[in-house]
Amino acid sequence: MAMRPKSEMSPPPSDQRDAVIEELRKGAQLADCLRQQLELIPELGRRSAALANVSNISTALVSSASMLESNREQYSCSSSDPGVAAYAAGASGSGGGTGARNGAIARTRKAKHRRGTHGEELPIREVLTETPENDGFHWRKYGEKKILNAVFPRSYYRCGYSDEHRCPAKKLVQQQNNSDPPVFMVTMINDHTCSSLFPADDQPHSSSNSATANSQVLDFTKASPSSAAGVWRLKKEEDAGMSVTVPSYTHDELASYSSLPLLSPKEWEMEMEMKSLFSHHSGGGT
């Protein structure tokens, strides 16, 4: 959204884009079928890992489709005012539905604020997710702030390896609504420079149980119950001996949560990683 000026984007022809969207949808449906099959795996650890992977694939596909759709809407819309888009985002963004206009203002101001010390643009990605922690990285919370016109506080995380590896990656997590499960807006700031520096067995919390081969995906690092509902839900399900199913959603489901484009490039990257993983040793683990 705030990644590049629209003028720099060169959208594919609409019919071609529709075809791509259709293919992505099919992929998401197939992933869903695969997930149902994976539910039958008896071993909890394996099943959890596989389900998480499939869910990531599904989410990536859905997000990509919605991203394309969102672009189509942008190009078909004559408005070039970024504030209009920000307003649309804020209108459904703040859970109580209050203060949409002010929310838009805050967002605009924030976007300006998020620059490097020398005024350079920071790489920012916004992702809607039910599992804000489930992105495969180790995060350390360094702050929480009640945001004006937002029902829920915003949590501030930085890469857990920011000190050791000088990783500049940061993440802002804000709960969007009070639905079950709640949806979080995750804003990623800066890319990880440490991602290749910590193998699975280097993770401080080996919560990856038996699924060590995929533990980068399953690195549910600790987080406060108040700010990471996804985590407590996962833990709850584990405690109850249930399968850990990271939820995936259809575009319509996600669209009902927010009108924001559902960007998840990180998950896209993860999917690419997984594809290469599967191609190297199909089956991954054992």
Part in contact with DNA (CB under 7 A); list of ranges 84-92, 151-159, 192-200, 264-272? 151-159
Is residue 209 close enough to count as binding DNA by CB under 7 A?
A: no
Residue choice 30, 114, 237, 284 for contact with DNA (CB under 7 A): 114
- In order of 19, 107, 193, 254, 258, the CA distances from 65 in angstroms are 10, 24, 28, 12, 15
Is residue 156 close enough to count as binding DNA by CB under 7 A?
A: yes
Is residue 112 close enough to count as binding DNA by CB under 7 A?
A: yes
Q: Are 56 and 267 in contact (CB under 8 A)?
A: yes
Distance from C-alpha of 180 to C-alpha of 58, rounded to nearest angstrom: 20
User: Encoding tokens for residue 246?
Assistant: 């990271």
Residue choice 20, 30, 100, 149 for contact with DNA (CB under 7 A): 149
Distance from C-alpha of 222 to C-alpha of 106, rounded to nearest angstrom: 29
Residue choice 125, 141, 251, 266 for contact with DNA (CB under 7 A): 141
Is residue 101 close enough to count as binding DNA by CB under 7 A?
A: no
Amino acid at 62: V
Q: Which residues contact 159 (CB under 8 A, 6 or more apart)?
A: 137, 138, 139, 140, 165, 167, 168, 169, 170, 192, 194
Q: Which is nearer to DNA, 25 or 114 (CB)?
A: 114
Residue choice 3, 148, 197, 272 for contact with DNA (CB under 7 A): 148
Q: Which residues contact 186 (CB under 8 A, 6 or more apart)?
A: 126, 127, 128, 129, 132, 135, 171, 172, 173
Distance of CA 182 to the CA centre of its chain: 13
Residue choice 30, 91, 147, 200 for contact with DNA (CB under 7 A): 147
Residue 37 CB burial class (10 angstroms; 0-12, 13-18, ≥19): exposed
Part in contact with DNA (CB under 7 A); list of ranges 133-141, 236-244, 245-253, 267-275? 133-141
Torsion 278-279-283-286 (CA) sign: negative
- In order of 82, 214, 282, the CA distances from 286 in angstroms are 50, 11, 11
Part in contact with DNA (CB under 7 A); list of ranges 15-23, 40-48, 148-156, 194-202? 148-156
Is residue 221 close enough to count as binding DNA by CB under 7 A?
A: yes
Is residue 142 close enough to count as binding DNA by CB under 7 A?
A: yes
Residues 168-197 that bind DNA (CB under 7 A): 170, 172
Residue choice 95, 191, 222, 255 for contact with DNA (CB under 7 A): 222
Residue choice 17, 25, 72, 110 for contact with DNA (CB under 7 A): 110
Q: Are 72 and 286 in contact (CB under 8 A)?
A: no
State the binding string over 50-89 for DNA (x if CB under 7 A, else -).
----------------------------------------
Q: Which is nearer to DNA, 61 or 223 (CB)?
A: 223
Which residues in this chain contact DNA in the complex, by CB under 7 A? Answer: 106, 109-110, 112-114, 139-150, 154-156, 160, 170, 172, 204, 221-227
